């Protein structure tokens, strides 16, 4: 093949993606002297990647199929902006052979493998056949062309339960179901096919033996157009939820040096089966002793930064150099492993509500500085809006250190010092995960998070003396700041008065809990706070994002955000949300019962699972929504009769819209 038609030097790069990966690619491309072009949907007009690029072009409406997944519009955007090359990032069209081929046909360099390589390795079924011929160890399974339910059922019986049903195309855990018995198989196939068709436009399934207590090991590989193919060590991505990675680390703490060399050699053999060019990942599942090939991702991975930190290699730079037609700058024996890196994915989601995505405006975005081995790849800023149309990942936090224990400590410190408000995030959940004793000792498997979910999502502790005092200090500091920003005012010191001492009472509560009262004494002499029978001397010194609070001589650092009468505090005891009871009255509460079957977020109705008039038990499934590329089943809140269904399959529904009514009386 004449590689000059596929790989050649270019000056202008279009990034066919959004969010943190678009920002990531733009930064490296600009550092290499390239001109960058961003594309965006109507929902992303003010997005961070649009602001970072040298030029940006509107693709179309918010829905991905009308913008980021529209091949014709992307090719036209490249033509209009003079882009000579396209980087697909990950997700969206990054593993779409038709897009790679369309770029080639349009005279564009596609920063990735060829369409042929993508077709061969991007199909889970096709790649398994290749690996079988190449002698790469496989998990027992079925990856044939016949897709009727009888064939799949027969294959499952032959393999033996438990089995894994998963989409042949795509990734990210979508279109994947664990099936533990024959009677679970049929509904799992129907659901997985529907989800795969919606996510990837391809509902073909494969079946694998489900490995109990599995570990997820993957190897980063990269090849050039001169026949060089390298492995850049392995990553472990065992901490997953619903088959989606949550924490990734490199190297794997599970493998010894001999196992490491064996799995890396197997990965090179796998990629070599198609003479692979570009960055990619060979994924394996391990039962603790052996590793088995499961699939190849023909793109950059979300977790690529951990590999970059242990090798000192910028993988995006290497991708671009390969696309230029250059040879890889290092040989296999020149790639050295240095230290340990751990990555956490920060999502806009609520772990206490089944990880439902959270949408809205980011009112506060405070992440720690990228120093001391900490790296943050973000796609959002303060003031940005998280929409319901795309994946809910906000950023990735990555920590490097000489050892795994220290890397985990650095990552957890970074998480603990992060404050994101306006939306709900999984940051407290990630911190609980990183401090779990079994994670520290690597006593985990891919089912660990599900088993430990109650521990990892337990409610925050009740506010103690420190938090009540901090709440008062936050209000006082906020009032002082407001006074300083006004004209010459006597309120430039809180509680100013001509003479004497006065008191000011405060009351706080958590949710609908009882009020907790505290009294501030101020005026002439030291200020004190009184809680019950205790009187505490206190002082504050404001700093960016919060203040130092000194109580009876003990100084504590406090982060604070005030929005009206809602207070967010982060102290040494954790994170707290308090409501400041209106001292002038006028409190009103909106009570929403749990019996309303309504859309938790904007989404699409993909299945109606019960008929009007049906008798339902509590928890019976009624309908399924697709929300931010994930399926969410709405269930009966109590036993009764399904009185009405107010939607149909295909409807796009808004948050809070009632979708069905269950009559508990059954009349």
Q: Is 219 helix (H, G, I), strand (E, B) or coil?
A: strand
Strand segments, DSSP code E, in 438-533 are: 501-509, 516-523, 528-531
**Is 60 exceeded by the pLDDT of residue 289?**
yes
**Is 50 exceeded by the pLDDT of residue 525?**
yes
**What does pTM read for this prediction?**
0.82
Give the CATH number of the domain where residue 650 resides: 2.40.50.100
Find the length of the chain: 667
Domain boundary among 412, 431, 456: 456
pLDDT on residue 288: 76
- Specify the number of domains making up the chain: 5
Domain carrying residue 54: 3-111
Q: Is the dihedral of CA 218, 222, 223, 229 positive or negative?
A: negative
Task: Express as a percent the part of the chain with pLDDT over 90.
Answer: 71
- Confirm whether 576 is domain-assigned: yes
Q: Is 186 helix (H, G, I), strand (E, B) or coil?
A: helix
Give the CATH number of the domain where residue 437 resides: 3.30.470.20
Radius of gyration, CA atoms only, the chain: 27
Q: Is the dihedral of CA 630, 636, 642, 644 positive or negative?
A: negative
Q: Do residues 302 and 383 share a domain?
A: yes
**Is 50 exceeded by the pLDDT of residue 592?**
no
Q: Look up residue 198 and give its two tokens.
A: 């919606």
For residues 74 and 87, give the distance between their C-alpha atoms in angstroms, rounded to a whole number.
Answer: 11
pLDDT on residue 585: 58
Higher pLDDT residue, 135 or 47?
A: 47
Domain boundary among 437, 456, 475: 456
From 48-62, 286-300, 315-329, the region with the lowest mean pLDDT: 286-300
Q: Do residues 405 and 489 share a domain?
A: no
Q: Do residues 389 and 263 share a domain?
A: yes
**Is 90 exceeded by the pLDDT of residue 408?**
yes
- Confirm whether 121 is domain-assigned: no
Task: Give 219-248 pLDDT, tens digit per residue.
Answer: 999 999 999 999 999 999 999 998 899 999
pLDDT on residue 1: 52
Annotated active-site residue in 174, 299, 421, 480: 299
pLDDT on residue 321: 98
Over residues 166-180, the mean pLDDT reads: 83
Q: Do residues 149 and 246 share a domain?
A: no
For residues 40 and 70, give the distance between their C-alpha atoms in angstroms, rounded to a whole number.
Answer: 12
Over residues 80-85, the mean pLDDT reads: 98
pLDDT on residue 111: 98
Q: Do residues 377 and 501 share a domain?
A: no
- Reduced 3-state DSSP string for 427-463: HHHHHHHHCCHHHHCCCCCCCHHHHCHHHHCCCCCCC
pLDDT confidence tier of residue 628, bands split at 50, 70 and 90: low
**Is 50 exceeded by the pLDDT of residue 5?**
yes
Peptide bond into 18 cis (omega under 30): no
Over residues 429-446, the mean pLDDT reads: 97
Phi, psi of 421, rounded to the nearest 5 degrees: -130, 165
- Classify strands 603-608 and 621-627 as parallel, antiparallel or unpaired: antiparallel
pLDDT on residue 172: 67
pLDDT on residue 240: 96
- Confirm whether 587 is domain-assigned: no
Q: Do residues 623 and 546 share a domain?
A: no
Peptide bond into 528 cis (omega under 30): no
**Is 80 exceeded by the pLDDT of residue 450?**
yes
**Is 60 exceeded by the pLDDT of residue 490?**
no
For residues 642 and 549, give the distance between their C-alpha atoms in angstroms, rounded to a whole number.
Answer: 55
Token pair 């404050």: residue: 419
- Confirm whether 118 is domain-assigned: no
Give the CATH number of the domain where residue 480 resides: 3.30.700.30
Q: Directed axis angle between helix 124-134 and helix 257-272, to 10°?
A: 110
Over residues 613-619, the mean pLDDT reads: 89
Q: Do residues 561 and 633 share a domain?
A: no
Higher pLDDT residue, 655 or 649?
A: 649
Token pair 């943190």: residue: 20
Q: Do residues 537 and 605 share a domain?
A: no
Over residues 3-9, the mean pLDDT reads: 82
Q: Do residues 443 and 568 share a domain?
A: no
pLDDT confidence tier of residue 153, bands split at 50, 70 and 90: very high
Q: Do residues 448 and 506 share a domain?
A: no
pLDDT on residue 591: 34
Give the CATH number of the domain where residue 7 resides: 3.40.50.20
Average pLDDT, the chain: 90
Over residues 393-421, the mean pLDDT reads: 98
pLDDT on residue 487: 45
- Classify strands 574-580 and 597-598 as parallel, antiparallel or unpaired: unpaired
- Confirm whether 316 is domain-assigned: yes
- Confirm whether 120 is domain-assigned: no
Q: Is 299 a catalytic residue?
A: yes
For residues 90 and 17, give the distance between their C-alpha atoms in angstroms, rounded to a whole number.
Answer: 8
- Classify strands 630-635 and 640-645 as parallel, antiparallel or unpaired: unpaired
For residues 630 and 603, give the distance between their C-alpha atoms in angstroms, rounded to a whole number.
Answer: 10
Over residues 519-523, the mean pLDDT reads: 91
Q: Do residues 420 and 483 share a domain?
A: no
pLDDT confidence tier of residue 139, bands split at 50, 70 and 90: confident
From 78-82, 416-420, 622-626, the region with the lowest mean pLDDT: 622-626
Give the CATH number of the domain where residue 150 resides: 3.30.1490.20
- Confirm whether 31 is domain-assigned: yes
- Confirm whether 304 is domain-assigned: yes
Higher pLDDT residue, 11 or 511?
A: 11
Q: Do residues 576 and 488 share a domain?
A: yes
Domain boundary among 160, 186, 209: 209
């Amino acid at each position: 093949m004449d590689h000059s038609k596929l790989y050649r030097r270019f000056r202008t790069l279009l990034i066919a993606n959004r969010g943190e990966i678009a920002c990531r690619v733009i930064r490296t491309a600009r550092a290499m002297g390239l001109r960058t072009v961003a594309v965006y949907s109507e929902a992303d007009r003010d997005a961070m990647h649009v602001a970072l690029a040298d030029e940006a072009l509107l693709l179309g409406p918010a829905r991905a199929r009308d913008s980021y997944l529209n091949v014709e519009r992307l090719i036209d955007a490249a033509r209009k902006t003079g882009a000579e090359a396209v980087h697909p990032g990950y997700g969206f069209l990054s593993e779409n052979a038709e897009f790679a081929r369309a770029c080639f046909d349009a005279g564009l360099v596609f920063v990735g493998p060829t369409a042929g390589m993508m077709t061969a390795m991007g199909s889970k079924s096709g790649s398994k056949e290749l690996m079988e011929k190449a002698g790469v160890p496989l998990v027992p399974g079925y990856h044939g062309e016949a897709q009727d339910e009888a064939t799949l059922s027969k294959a499952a019986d032959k393999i033996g339960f438990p089995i894994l049903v998963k989409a042949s195309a795509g990734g990210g855990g979508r279109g994947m179901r664990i099936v533990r018995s024959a009677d679970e198989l049929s509904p799992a196939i129907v659901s997985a096919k529907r989800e795969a068709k919606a996510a990837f436009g391809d509902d073909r399934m494969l079946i694998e033996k489900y490995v109990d207590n599995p570990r997820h090991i993957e190897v980063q590989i990269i090849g050039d157009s001169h026949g060089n193919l390298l492995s850049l060590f392995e990553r472990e991505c065992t901490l997953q939820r619903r088959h989606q990675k949550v924490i990734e680390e490199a190297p794997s703490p599970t493998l010894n040096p001999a196992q490491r060399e064996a799995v890396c050699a197997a990965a090179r053999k796998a990629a070599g089966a198609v003479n692979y060019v570009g960055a990619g990942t060979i994924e394996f599942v391990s039962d603790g002793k052996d590793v088995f090939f499961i699939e190849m991702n023909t793109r950059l991975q979300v977790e690529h930064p951990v590999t970059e930190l242990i090798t000192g290699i910028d993988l995006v730079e290497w991708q671009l150099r390969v696309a230029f037609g250059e040879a890889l700058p290092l040989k296999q024996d020149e790639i050295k492993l240095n230290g340990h890196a751990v990555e956490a994915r920060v999502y806009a989601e609520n772990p206490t509500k089944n990880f439902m995505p959270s949408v809205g405006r980011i009112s506060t975005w405070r992440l720690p500085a990228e120093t001391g081995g900490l790296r943050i790849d973000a796609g959002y800023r303060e003031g940005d809006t998280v929409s319901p149309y795309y994946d809910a990942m906000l950023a990735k936090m990555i920590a490097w250190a000489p050892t795994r224990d220290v890397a985990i400590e650095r990552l957890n410190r970074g998480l603990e010092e992060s404050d994101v408000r306006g939306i709900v995030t999984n940051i407290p959940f990630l911190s609980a995960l990183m401090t779990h004793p079994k994670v520290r000792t690597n006593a985990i498997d891919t089912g660990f998070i599900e088993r430990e979910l109650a521990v990892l999502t337990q409610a925050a502790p009740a506010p103690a003396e420190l938090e009540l005092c901090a709440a008062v200090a936050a209000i006082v500091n906020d009032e002082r700041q407001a006074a300083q920003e006004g004209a010459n005012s006597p309120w430039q010191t809180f509680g100013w008065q001509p003479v004497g001492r006065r008191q000011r009472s405060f009351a706080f509560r958590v949710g609908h809990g009882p009020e907790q009262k505290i009294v501030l004494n101020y005026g002439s002499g030291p200020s004190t706070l009184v809680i019950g029978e205790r009187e505490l001397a206190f002082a504050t010194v404001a700093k960016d994002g919060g203040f130092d609070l000194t109580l009876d001589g003990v100084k504590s650092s406090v982060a604070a955000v005030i929005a009206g009468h809602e207070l967010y505090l982060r102290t040494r005891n954790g994170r707290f949300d308090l409501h400041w009871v209106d001292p002038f009255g006028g409190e009103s509460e909106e009570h929403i019962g749990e019996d309303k079957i309504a859309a938790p977020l904007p989404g699409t109705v993909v299945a109606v699972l019960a008929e009007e008039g049906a008798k339902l038990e509590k928890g019976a499934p009624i309908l399924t929504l697709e929300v931010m590329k994930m399926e969410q089943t709405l269930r009966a809140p109590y036993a009764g009769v399904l009185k009405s269904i107010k939607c149909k399959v295909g409807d796009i529904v808004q948050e809070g819209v009632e979708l069905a009514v269950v009559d508990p009386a059954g009349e």
